């Protein structure tokens, strides 16, 4: 068969040469060892943690090496596409502090290696598809869905591998150019298939995380272009990562099984394959076992969840870095003040078994991350979140900026600083007692303080002796004196030893005071809180009880 003729028949409108296309995408001039990475999400409308997980690796690897990190939209499956999904994705990545050097942008493209949306690169794919046809490496296939189903049934019955290959490809492969032309003229649909070679050989690929992968080579006549002329992921990824000059392809481990096809295509097109890095699947613990995170069951798979919950983007990054590099936590302890971007990210420290997404771990990392932030930064980020998710609180903290900053700082300068805030959402709850507008009694006073007469007596005495400017020692001496007078033990251990001799201990007394002032049993230091509240508020809250 004259493959050049076939190429013209199939792609009459494709007139550029591969060389012309190559020239449009020049080899990048970058420092030696600089990495070019990307994420290639599909615009399905659902941005998941896995997108950010791979973005964190790509961003670190590229920027750490003085390279380029870009965004490519893989929108070859129009059935899965949702309107506005690209904007949602870009906004989410921005929110989480992922910065792209080039790629798809909300209003078009940024960079010279575009278009960065695969749906706009059709002509480019066709040039290379035509080249493969011209070289006898690809052919049109007119098998109908019914015919393919029949083949699959036969393969299942014979316990053979499913797919179009070897003898199952014969019918399409043996068409003459005249028959092909007739079919096309008759309006029959066709896909373009790669002409696979039946082989027993193995391919050997060095994965950046997994080391050497040995796999059976490809022998499938897999689809390059679908009947609408749109490429499959396999073909588009190879063409794009070559032309956009990616040095590393960081993607989920679910793609490992297609690797032989991709390697075969790189070879067929005469291109050097990038370094692959197949990342571990996100998992969670359940009933003592591990399972894959599921879109249906696990809200924490959606990136929007972290935004809605008000988890600081920095906390999400540090959480992912902890999942991704086994030495991150150790590094953080040794460099408590450093920016996480200073951490030397490495493929070598990546785990290949599933990455455990543990919300308790995230909360604890988040507390540390917020603990390290300045009060002003906490205020700004919290306010930014409140403006979107809690207008009432946005109003409060803008009405009382100084009080809010002082409240944020309570307990943060101690030798063992308090780490009360784990998310902006939780901060709206935890900090609510500082504002009269949101102050409520959440907890009940302890049994030892349930007697009304006793309570009244305590508050009357406390208010009477209260001097807002007392220092910590004087203040505490006064509390101790009242405690003793009311028949409570000043030393908790005395009460423990001889519970019958006391009505309770100083712990019950301060707990009562804390609840009166903050509405809750678990709140920061009473004296510090009193100073943020101001004398008038303190007296008002205490007066209610006397």
Residues that bind ligand GLU in the complex, under the rule CB under 6 A: 40-42, 74, 237, 249, 251-252
Name the 3-class secondary structure at 348. helix
Least Å distance, CB 58 to ligand GLU, is 9
Q: Which is nearer to ligand GLU, 277 or 509 (CB)?
A: 277
Q: Which is nearer to ligand GLU, 74 or 525 (CB)?
A: 74
Least Å distance, CB 39 to ligand GLU, is 6
What tokens does 21 get?
Answer: 């296309």
Cα Rg of the chain, angstroms:
33
Continuous H helices in 96-175 = 122-134, 145-157, 166-173
- The Cα 112–Cα 317 span in angstroms is 29
Least Å distance, CB 88 to ligand GLU, is 15
Least Å distance, CB 218 to ligand GLU, is 17
What tokens does 97 get?
Answer: 């502090």
Q: Which is nearer to ligand GLU, 45 or 411 (CB)?
A: 45
Q: Which is nearer to ligand GLU, 76 or 432 (CB)?
A: 76
Is residue 238 within 8 Å of 265, Cβ to Cβ? yes
Least Å distance, CB 527 to ligand GLU, is 55
Least Å distance, CB 364 to ligand GLU, is 30
Q: Which is nearer to ligand GLU, 58 or 504 (CB)?
A: 58
- Of 377, 367, 520, the C-alpha closest to 440 is 520
Least Å distance, CB 249 to ligand GLU, is 6
Least Å distance, CB 142 to ligand GLU, is 28
- Span between the terminal Cα atoms of the chain, in Å: 102
Q: Which is nearer to ligand GLU, 249 or 517 (CB)?
A: 249
What residues contact residue 94 under an 8 Å CB cut-off, 6+ apart? none
Query: Please, is 149 exposed, middle or buried when counting C-beta atoms within 10 Å of its C-beta (0-12, 13-18, 19+)?
Result: exposed
Q: Which is nearer to ligand GLU, 237 or 508 (CB)?
A: 237
- Of 323, 330, 390, the C-alpha closest to 358 is 323
Least Å distance, CB 41 to ligand GLU, is 5
Is residue 386 within 8 Å of 426, Cβ to Cβ? no
Least Å distance, CB 51 to ligand GLU, is 8
Q: Which is nearer to ligand GLU, 252 or 411 (CB)?
A: 252
Q: Which is nearer to ligand GLU, 72 or 514 (CB)?
A: 72
- DSSP codes of every residue in 485-515: HTT-BSSHHHHHH-GGG-S-BHHHHHHHHHH
- Of 289, 209, 297, the C-alpha closest to 249 is 209
Q: Which is nearer to ligand GLU, 279 or 423 (CB)?
A: 279
- The Cα 385–Cα 389 span in angstroms is 6
- The Cα 211–Cα 215 span in angstroms is 13
- Of 169, 178, 177, 182, the C-alpha closest to 141 is 169
**CA 220 from centroid of its chain's CA atoms:** 34
Least Å distance, CB 407 to ligand GLU, is 43
Least Å distance, CB 284 to ligand GLU, is 20
- The Cα 11–Cα 14 span in angstroms is 5
Q: Which is nearer to ligand GLU, 72 or 508 (CB)?
A: 72
Q: Which is nearer to ligand GLU, 249 or 261 (CB)?
A: 249
Name the 3-class secondary structure at 424. helix
What tokens does 349 get?
Answer: 């420290």
Residues in the chain: 546
Is residue 245 within 8 Å of 72, Cβ to Cβ? no
Place of tokens 């409240």: 407
């Amino acid at each position: 068969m004259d493959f050049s003729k076939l190429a013209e028949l199939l792609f009459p409108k494709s007139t550029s040469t591969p060389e012309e296309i190559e020239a449009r995408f020049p080899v990048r001039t970058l420092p030696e060892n600089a990495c070019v990475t990307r994420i290639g999400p599909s615009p399905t409308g659902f941005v998941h943690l896995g997108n950010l997980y791979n973005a964190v690796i790509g961003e670190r690897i590229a920027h750490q090496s003085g390279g380029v990190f870009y965004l490519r939209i893989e929108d070859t499956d129009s059935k899965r596409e949702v309107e506005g999904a690209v904007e949602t994705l870009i906004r989410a990545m921005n929110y989480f502090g992922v910065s792209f050097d080039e790629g798809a942008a909300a209003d078009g493209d940024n960079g010279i290696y575009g278009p960065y949306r695969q749906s706009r690169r059709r002509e480019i794919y066709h040039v290379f598809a035509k080249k493969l046809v011209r070289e006898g490496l690809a052919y049109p296939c007119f098998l109908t869905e019914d015919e393919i189903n029949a083949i699959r049934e036969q393969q299942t019955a014979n316990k053979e591998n499913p797919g179009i290959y070897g003898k199952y490809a014969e019918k399409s492969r043996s068409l003459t150019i005249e028959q092909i032309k007739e079919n096309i003229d008759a309006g029959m649909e066709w896909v373009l298939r790669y002409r696979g070679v039946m082989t027993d050989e193995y391919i050997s690929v060095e994965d950046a995380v997994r080391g050497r992968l040995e796999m059976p080579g490809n022998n499938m006549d897999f689809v390059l272009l679908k009947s609408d002329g749109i490429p499959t992921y396999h073909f588009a990824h190879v063409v794009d990562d070559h032309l956009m000059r990616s040095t590393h392809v960081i993607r989920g481990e679910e793609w490992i099984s297609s690797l032989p096809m991709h390697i075969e295509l790189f070879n067929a097109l005469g291109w050097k394959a990038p370094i692959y890095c197949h990342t571990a699947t996100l998992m969670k613990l359940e009933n003592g076992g591990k399972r894959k995170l599921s879109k249906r069951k696990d809200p924490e798979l959606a990136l929007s969840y972290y935004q809605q919950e008000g988890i600081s983007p920095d906390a999400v990054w540090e959480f992912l870095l902890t999942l991704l590099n086994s030495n991150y936590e150790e590094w953080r302890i040794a460099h408590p003040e450093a920016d996480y971007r200073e951490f030397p990210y490495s493929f070598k420290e990546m785990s290949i078994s599933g990455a455990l997404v543990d919300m308790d771990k995230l909360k604890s990392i988040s507390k540390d991350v917020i603990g390290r932030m300045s009060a002003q930064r906490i205020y700004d980020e919290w306010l930014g979140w409140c403006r979107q998710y809690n207008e009432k609180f946005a109003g409060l903290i803008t009405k009382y900026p100084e009080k809010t900053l002082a409240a944020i700082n309570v307990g943060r300068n101690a030798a063992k600083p308090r780490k009360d805030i784990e998310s902006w959402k939780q901060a709206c709850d935890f900090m609510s007692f500082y504002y009269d507008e949101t102050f409520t009694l959440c907890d009940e006073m302890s049994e030892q303080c349930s007697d009304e007469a006793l309570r009244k007596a305590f508050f009357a005495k406390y208010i009477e002796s209260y001097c807002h400017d007392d220092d910590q020692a004087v203040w505490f001496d006064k509390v101790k004196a009242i405690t003793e007078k009311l028949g409570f033990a000043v030393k908790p251990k005395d009460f423990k030893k001889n519970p019958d001799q006391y009505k309770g201990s100083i712990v019950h007394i301060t707990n009562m005071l804390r609840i009166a002032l903050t509405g809750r049993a678990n709140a920061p230091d009473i004296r510090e809180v009193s100073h943020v509240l101001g004398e008038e508020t303190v007296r008002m809250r205490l007066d209610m009880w006397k």
